[in-house]
């Protein structure tokens, strides 16, 4: 069984419709959590998965993609039999930044959560060279690519058996995200705006839904999921704008969406 589950897709802040970014990839007994934005831990616990993740991958350290790693650490540690530490990958330039979180979320009087992040997770650098292959489980590998964003950001390419699932992370149009998405079976791509000033897109490193569709077409993907939506407009209008530029099936992300892969 190989599948993608959207746990949350909201950009910037969670709302009544969805948590922020978080996705599950499952392949033959391996479960990987991609991003862990606000609201994601509730989605994991609702599915009984908080102790069953094999690895976490954070695309970048903006809060809407990672703030729930703190409650995830506490959830894994404050239990009678804490599960083993699991790998947590962040872009190579962000390891020290993430480590500093332990300085202020720690509870020094409780040894279980004295250094919660480094106790719950084995934090590892994700090299964004588009070549280094990381093994996450049986038949599951990850390659990081350099995305174009305001902070170090990684587009992700997962091999799941003979299938490929790619994630853009937050990014503008760049070679890195194109490399990650090349010929992917499923491409989860940000579509932060319906319309935007090109200078603003370049400054922040984001895409419009139409650019997302063009990117998917250029990369030759089989299926596009538009995500990282702000909620100012109907989700369907993002899918329609992307579809106008992409000759592939386009789905707007929704909380709980399951996409079979292959
Ligand atoms: Zn974001």
Q: What CATH number is attached to the domain comprising 125?
A: 3.60.15.10
89 inside domain: yes
- Is residue 262's pLDDT more than 80? no
pLDDT on residue 201: 86
CA of 224 from ligand 1 middle (Å) equals 18
Q: Report how far ligand 1's centroid is from the alpha carbon of 49 (Å).
A: 23
Distance 127 CA to ligand 1 centre (A): 20
Whole-number pLDDT of residue 110: 93
Mean pLDDT within 36-57: 97
**In angstroms, what is the span from residue 74 Cα to ligand 1's centroid?**
23
Task: Kindly state the average pLDDT of the residues 2-29.
Answer: 97
Average pLDDT rounded to a whole number, residues 75-95: 96
Cα of 148 to ligand 1 centre, how many Å? 12
Cα–ligand 1 centroid distance for 9 (angstroms): 9
Q: For the whole model, what pTM was predicted?
A: 0.97
pLDDT per position as a tens digit, 169-220 = 999 999 999 999 999 999 999 999 998 888 888 888 999 999 999 999 999 9
The structural domain count of the chain equals: 1
Read off the pLDDT of residues 225-249 as tens digits, 9 standing for 90 and up: 999 999 888 889 999 999 999 999 9
In a domain, 259, yes or no: no
How close is the Cα of 101 to the center of ligand 1, in Å? 19
Average pLDDT over residues 44-65: 97
Distance from the alpha carbon of residue 20 to the mean position of ligand 1, in angstroms? 8
**Residue 262 placed within a domain:** no
- Provide the mean pLDDT of the chain: 96
Domain presence at residue 128: yes
Helix/strand/coil (H/E/C) assignment for every residue in the chain:
CEEEEEEECECCCCCCCCCECEEEEEECCEEEEECCCCCHHHHHHHCCCCCCCCEEECCCCCHHHHCCHHHHHHHHHCCCCCCCCEEEEEEHHHHHHHHHHHHHHCCCCCHHHCCHHHHHEEEEEECCEEEEEEEEECCEEEEEEECCCCCCCEEEEEEECCEEEEECCCCCCCHHHHHHHCCCCEEEEECCECCCCHHHHHHHCCCEHHHHHHHHHHHCCCCEEEECECCCCCHHHHHHHHHCCCCCCEEECCCCCEEECC
- Tell how far the Cα of 54 is from the centroid of ligand 1, in angstroms: 23
Q: Average pLDDT of 252-259?
A: 97
Residue 261 falls inside a structural domain: no
Q: Note down the domain range covering 171.
A: 2-254
> What mean pLDDT do residues 144-150 have?
97
Domain-located, residue 192? yes
Gap from CA of 33 to ligand 1 centroid (Å): 16
Share of the chain above pLDDT 90, in %: 94
260 inside domain: no
């Amino acid at each position: 069984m190989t599948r993608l589950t959207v746990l949350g897709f909201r950009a910037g802040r969670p709302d009544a419709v969805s948590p922020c970014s978080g996705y599950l990839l499952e392949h033959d007994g391996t479960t990987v959590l991609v991003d862990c934005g606000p609201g994601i831990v509730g989605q994991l616990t609702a599915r009984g998965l908080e102790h069953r993740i094999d690895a976490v991958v954070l695309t970048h350290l903006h809060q809407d993609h990672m703030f729930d790693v703190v409650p995830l650490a506490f959830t894994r540690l404050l239990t009678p039999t804490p599960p083993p530490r699991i790998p947590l990958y962040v872009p190579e330039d962000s390891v020290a930044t993430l480590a500093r979180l332990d300085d202020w979320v720690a509870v020094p009087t409780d040894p279980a959560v004295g250094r919660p992040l480094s106790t719950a997770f084995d934090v590892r650098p994700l090299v964004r060279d588009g070549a280094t292959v990381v093994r996450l489980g049986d038949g599951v590998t990850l390659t990081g690519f350099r995305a174009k964003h305001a902070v170090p950001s990684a587009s992700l390419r997962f091999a799941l058996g003979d299938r490929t699932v790619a994630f853009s992370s937050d990014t503008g149009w760049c070679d890195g995200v194109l490399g990650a998405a090349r010929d992917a079976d499923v491409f989860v791509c940000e579509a932060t705006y319906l319309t935007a000033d090109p200078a603003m897109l370049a400054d922040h490193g984001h895409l419009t839904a139409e650019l997302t569709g063009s990117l998917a077409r250029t990369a030759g993907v089989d299926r596009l999921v538009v995500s990282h939506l702000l909620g100012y407009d109907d989700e369907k209008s993002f899918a329609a704008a992307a579809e106008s530029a992409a000759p592939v099936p386009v789905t707007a992300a929704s909380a709980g969406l399951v996409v079979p892969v292959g």
